[in-house]
């Protein structure tokens, strides 16, 4: 096929093509996370006396930190829909990351030594990691499917950012169920779970977002 012939084929396929709408993808992604986490919480229930618990700063931080990270990362993830987008500026993660590290260190000093790692039982770790990962799978898959209509020139990075945003959103919702209020526990294992979802996003993105 000569290139000029290819051009006439492409021109014959010049049907109106709806422009990409990142705002719609953002709204649908938020909805996917909210529905999945909402379903989980309505089936299994939020923690007892959630409202009072949220008045305690370390409990509120468990929801606010991942939510903040999600809000900071999501716009960068969405920008990956178009070719030539820049990556995540490291400074953007500096605030939530230093808050998380600070919280961990503060708890390490505030909590008496025998209690520091008291919650680190295999069952608790599996529950926390497993549920955050499990709840992230469907929203992440949906988000990547929607992002496939875009044209990311760095598919693995776009997938990782999507995973980071979804993982953080899910972790924030999951914290309303979780009763492990020691930051040493939740910073470590929420962080690990979010890291796993990010890695999964990168691996899936490399495949799904190629074009």
Partner 1 sequence: MMDREAEWSALLRAAMEGDGRAYARFLGLVTPVLRGIVRARGRDLGAAGQEDVVQEVLIALHTKRHTWDQTAPLLPWLYAVARHKVVDAFRRRGGSVHLPIDDFVDVLEAEAEPDALAARDSAALIGQLDARSAAIVRAVSLEGQSTAEVGARLSMSEGAVRVALHRAIQRMARLAKGAE
Contacts to partner 1 by CB under 8 A = 1-20, 81-84, 149-151, 153, 210-211
Q: How far is the CB of 62 from partner 1 (least distance, A)?
A: 37
Given the complex with partner 1, which of 8 and 179 has the nearer CB atom?
Answer: 8
Distance CA 183, CA 191 (A): 11
Kindly state the smallest distance separating residue 6's Cβ from partner 1, in Å.
5
CB of 14 to partner 1, least distance (A): 4
Q: What is the CA radius of gyration of the chain?
A: 20
Closest CA to 193 of 205, 178, 208: 178
Q: Which residues have CB under 8 Å from 32's CB, separation 6+? A: 138, 139, 142, 143
Q: Between 11 and 55, whose beta carbon lies closer to partner 1?
A: 11
**Nearest distance, CB of residue 138 and partner 1, angstroms:** 24
Nearer to partner 1, 129 or 156 (CB): 156
Pair 26, 78: CB distance under 8 Å: yes
| Comparison of 18 and 51: residue with beta carbon closer to partner 1 | 18
Residue with tokens 């909210």: 34
Phi, psi of 28 (to 5 degrees): -65, -35
């Amino acid at each position: 096929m000569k290139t000029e012939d290819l051009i006439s084929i492409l021109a014959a396929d010049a049907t109106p093509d709806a422009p990409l709408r990142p705002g719609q993808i953002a709204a649908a992604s938020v909805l996917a996370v909210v529905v999945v986490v909402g379903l989980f919480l309505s089936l299994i229930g939020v923690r007892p006396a959630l409202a009072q618990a949220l008045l305690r700063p370390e409990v509120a931080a468990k929801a606010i930190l991942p939510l903040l990270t999600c809000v900071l990362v999501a716009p960068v993830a969405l920008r990956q829909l178009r070719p030539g987008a820049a990556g995540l500026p490291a400074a953007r993660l500096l605030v939530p990351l230093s808050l998380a590290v600070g919280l961990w260190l503060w708890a390490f000093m505030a909590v008496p030594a025998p209690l520091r790692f008291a919650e680190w039982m295999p069952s608790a770790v599996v529950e926390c990691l497993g549920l955050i990962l499990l709840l992230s799978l469907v929203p992440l898959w949906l988000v990547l499917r929607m992002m496939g209509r875009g044209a990311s020139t760095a598919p693995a990075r776009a997938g990782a950012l999507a995973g980071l945003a979804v993982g953080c959103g899910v972790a924030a919702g999951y914290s309303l169920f979780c009763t492990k209020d020691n930051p040493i526990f939740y910073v470590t294992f929420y962080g690990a779970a979010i890291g796993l979802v990010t890695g999964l996003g990168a691996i899936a993105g490399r495949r799904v977002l190629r074009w």
